[in-house]
Structure 1
Amino acid sequence: MNTSGKKFLSILIGISALLLIIASFGDLQISKAVLNQNSIFGNIFQIFGMFPSSLIPFISAEIIFIYGLRQKNQISK
């Protein structure tokens, strides 16, 4: 790696560390705002966040079923 690449990488790591330190102080306020039970924003995330976990097994089973049907049709031909 040349010197300009090393300089860019060190600047990038420094900025990332600085942003991580700054964001760590605001994390509690953000969590309280998002996870407030009286907040409509938090309730929307709660409702839509739980939806995919119940949908994934059905989609997976359908994919496996269709794959099995296609394999069966290829074998019988």
Structure 2
Amino acid sequence: MDAETDLSRASWRKSSRSSAGGPDCVEVALVPVGAGVRDSKNPSGPVLGFDGAAWSRFLGSTKHGGFDLS
């Protein structure tokens, strides 16, 4: 995913575990070339983009506790 990827029609989702008015939520949009992640409080702000391979590695590491803080 690069800076030219058009996310204007992307379907953004956030976790069902996020509270409706929670201040610390991220949203994810899956697109054919990867995924975009943004701050739900600032939908017109910057997007962190992942190509498909990087997104897959990120999810795998997350599922296996690679980012656990405890």
**TM-score normalised by L of structure 1:** 0.24
**TM-score normalised by L of structure 2:** 0.25
Select the structure that is richer in strand: 2
Select the structure that is richer in helix: 1
Whose Rg is larger?
Answer: 1
